[in-house]
């Protein structure tokens, strides 16, 4: 069963490098205890092969810059964790700032909520009146045309 888990091992797109490493270590340590060992190269290759598509550039860089037969698992995980942190920082910087307005709204006093409700009702009434006047003016214009004919 553990060998099956190892063979089907995949990294989820929202999974962190730390949790992925913990999962992989748990599987390989259990297999090792049962007498089935995988080499460091096998584990490193498996991890690199199943990283999400968004990691493709990092995987290519590691393949080109490092000798996979000599890279330790700890070195690989350290490199991937550094890249993960960098990607998270970039995502935070790219988020639009308009989300802050929604966070502030949660802290509105009841008086302010009442004011907003009043303004909203008044605006709705204004739109209704404007719509009625528009119908009345259109009716009046249509009536004038018939009289002048």
The predicted-structure confidence for 8-58, as pLDDT tens digits, reads as follows 888 877 888 888 889 888 988 898 888 888 888 888 888 888 888 888 889
Task: Find how far residue 5's CA is from the centre of its chain.
Answer: 27
Q: Where are the domains of the chain?
A: 2-94, 99-148
pLDDT for position 148: 46
Sequence-separated (6 or more) residues with CB below 8 Å from residue 33: none
pLDDT for residue 149: 44
**Residues 6 or more apart from 71 whose CB is under 8 A from it?**
44, 62
The rounded percent of the chain whose pLDDT value lies above 90 is 4
User: What is the pTM for the complete model shown?
Assistant: 0.55
Closest alpha carbon to 24 in 70, 100, 80, 64: 80
Of 5, 7, 9, 75, the residue nearest 40 (C-alpha): 75
């Amino acid at each position: 069963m553990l060998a099956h888990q190892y063979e089907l091992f995949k990294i989820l797109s929202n999974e962190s490098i730390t949790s992925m490493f913990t999962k992989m270590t748990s599987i390989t340590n259990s297999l090792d205890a049962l007498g089935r060992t995988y080499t460091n190269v096998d584990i490193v290759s498996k991890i690199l092969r199943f990283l999400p598509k968004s990691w493709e550039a990092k995987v290519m860089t590691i393949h080109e810059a490092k000798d996979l037969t000599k890279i330790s698992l700890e070195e690989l995980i350290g490199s991937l964790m550094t890249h993960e942190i960098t990607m998270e920082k970039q995502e935070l910087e790219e988020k639009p700032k308009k989300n802050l307005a929604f966070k502030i709204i949660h802290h509105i006093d009841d008086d302010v909520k009442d004011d907003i409700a009043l303004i909203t009702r008044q605006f709705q009434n204004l739109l209704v009146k404007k719509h009625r006047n528009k119908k009345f003016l259109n009716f009046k214009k249509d009536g004038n045309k018939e009289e002048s004919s």
